[in-house]
Amino acid sequence: MNFIKKLKDTSLSVLPVMAIVFFLGVTIVPLKREILLNFLSGGILLILGLTIFLTGVDLGIEPMGERCGAELTKKKNLSLLLTAAFIIGFIVTAAEPDIQVFADQVKQIFPFVNKISFTFVIAAGVGLFITLGLVRIVLNLSIKWTLFILYTILFLISFFSPASFFAIAFDSGGATTGPMTVPFIMALGLGVSSVRKDEDNSFGLTGICSIGPVLAVLFYSLMIKTGSAGGVLEKEALDHAGSAPAIFTAFKEALISIVPLFVLFIVFQFSLLRMTARQFARTVIGFIYSLIGLTIFLTGVNNGFSKAGSELGKTLGLLVSANGGLWGFVIIVLGLVFGAIIVCAEPAVWILSEQVESVSGGTIKRKALLIFLSVGTSIAIGLSLLRSIAGFNLKWILIPGYIIAMLLLIFSPPLFSGIAFDSGGVASGPLTSTFVLSFTLGAAATNSGSADSFGVIALVAMMPLIAIQLMGIIYTKKSSVQNSEEKGGAL
């Protein structure tokens, strides 16, 4: 744990976004002084909060998840492991702030949707697929065949579900992987695979979990009476996406997110883990750091970033609708830039990249992973903004994209396939779902309407599947060439 290093790294990730938005806000797309000041102060809070949160994850949440996975596996009681996994997945997902926000957004467009049942359906989907993911690890089933079969079933069901729910279902897969869910799920998978001493199975649990809510929402759409979308988000609803909650609201969201996991930790401590007093105290301190960091992070993101993103998107969207041409190109280029930079500030992305470097013994560099992830997310945001302007069907991008991802499973190493599908979940975190989503919502509201605002998270979750698997193929080829050269030199 190195607080100064984390502070430096997070600053380098967030400051470029702040510089670009501030430059645009005082030149090409003038923003109100109040919005710019809130944005700058929000950026500082975001950097500080992310640093403290990551420190807390290192201290408490990640070690707890790994210990739980390892101890449950050592019990050699599969039913106990799967029951505990389902309860963990359901409780943590139902408490995830991103899910509450997402359910509100869906209800605004589709009033016939019941928020509570919708939330529980998503939580059940995550719980069931955590158990499925752990069964795969325990039975040593192929990650490639597991993903291929599950996505084949998913797309077959999607053809029978209402078209209006297609984007919402795929968005739900990304919305479930929030700042508290991801660290624990990834650590749980690492803990189980560490007992089995199987490096290739260390990753992929988050990727499998992301399929669960998509399937669950598709089934939900088949069972309810569907109606037409509301058409266009009301101005108040759009503004609410970029509203500025007080620090107490952010604290409440962070508390709702962390308390269920902390309660599970207490239960596991006395029934399973039995940590020493020092280990217990260290974990509790980690949870406290995570709570403080997440509160500061959410305050910064919601208070400054989302409002600036919404206003920037609306202003550029009006310019596109009035003039088209060059402004359409400008807004797409901005989306590419924001996508490339902002994913590096996502809390879960940092955790995943550090775990990948650790598990691989440093052979897979964190910087290389972040570069490929940035490129994939950049393309996803660019396509989202192109769709918000042109208004074409999401299936035209999503189905070919997943077909490519499935084909790449044939050539990509199993470890990289697991990392790729995990990356799809972690890329769509709170920063993406606030600043980027608000930016796209603003552009869509002035062009194609709210129906095309859904699908942003789905595209952000899809592109890393392609990017990271391509990285794995390149990595394998370079390793083969290097080994050949070393053998030739030895001869």
Q: Write the DSSP string, 253-312.
A: HHHHHHHHHHHHHHHHIIIII---HHHHHHHHHHHHHHHHHHHHHHHHIIIIIHHHHHHH
Residue 350 lies in a domain: yes
pLDDT at 274: 86
Backbone dihedral region for residue 462 (phi beyond 0: left; psi -120 to 50: alpha; all else: beta): alpha
Residue 487 lies inside a defined structural domain of this protein? no
Radius of gyration of the chain (CA): 22
Q: Are 107 and 188 in contact (CB under 8 A)?
A: no
Q: Is 95 helix (H, G, I), strand (E, B) or coil?
A: coil
Output DSSP code: residue 229.
-
User: Is the four-CA dihedral 331, 332, 333, 334 of positive or negative sign?
Assistant: positive
Give the pLDDT of residue 161.
83
- Is residue 329 in a domain? yes
Segments forming the whole domain that contains residue 290: 11-224+233-478
pLDDT of residue 54: 82
Our CA angle for 315, 317, 320, nearest 5°, is: 115
Pairwise CA distance, residues 217 & 161, whole Å: 9
Evaluate whether residue 488 is within a structural domain: no
Count of structural domains, the chain: 1
- Picking from 366, 287, 256, the residue whose alpha carbon sits closest to that of residue 55 is 287
pLDDT in the model for residue 326: 75
Q: Is residue 148 part of a domain?
A: yes
- The pLDDT value given to residue 476: 87
CA distance 320 to 155: 34
Instruction: Provide the angle, in degrees to the nearest 10, between the axes of the packed helices 456-490 and 166-175.
Output: 60
Instruction: Residue 252: name the closest of 58, 95, 52, 55 by CA.
Output: 95
Tokens coding 53 = 């949160």
Q: pLDDT tens track of the chain, all 491 residues?
A: 578 888 887 887 788 888 888 888 888 888 888 889 988 998 899 889 888 988 888 888 878 888 888 888 788 788 888 888 898 888 878 767 667 667 877 877 778 888 888 989 999 999 999 999 888 888 888 888 999 999 999 999 988 888 778 888 888 887 777 666 777 777 777 777 777 666 656 688 888 988 999 999 999 988 875 554 444 444 444 344 444 445 888 888 788 878 888 888 898 888 888 888 999 999 999 999 989 998 998 888 777 777 788 788 878 777 777 776 677 788 888 888 888 887 877 777 877 888 888 877 777 888 888 899 999 989 988 888 888 777 778 888 888 999 999 999 999 988 888 889 888 878 877 667 667 777 777 776 665 555 556 777 888 889 989 999 999 999 888 887 776 666 666 55
State residue 487's pLDDT score. 64
Taking only the tens place, the pLDDT of each residue in 8-26 is: 878 877 888 888 888 888 8
* Cβ contact 212:170 at 8 Å: no
**What is the per-residue pLDDT for 286?**
92
Closest to 394 in 3D by CA, of 383, 409, 381, 405:
383
Within a domain: 413:
yes
Query: Would residue 485 count as lying in a domain?
Result: no
- What are phi and psi for residue 96, nearest 5 degrees? -65, 125
CA-to-CA separations, 301 to 3, 35, 85, 349, in angstroms, rounded: 21, 13, 31, 16
CA pair distance 467, 291, nearest whole angstrom:
32
CB-based contacts of 466: which residues, under 8 Å, 6+ apart? Answer: 376, 401, 404, 405, 408, 420
E strand or H helix at 223, and its extent? helix 205-223
CB-count burial class (<10 Å; 0-12, 13-18, 19+) for 237: middle
* Cβ atoms within 10 Å of 21's Cβ, excluding its own: 27
d(CA 422, CA 425): 5
Asked, for residue 296, whether it belongs to a domain, the answer is yes
Cβ distance 36 to 26 under 8 Å? yes
Minimal CA–CA distance to 63: which of 383, 364, 358?
A: 358
d(CA 418, CA 203): 5
pTM: 0.77
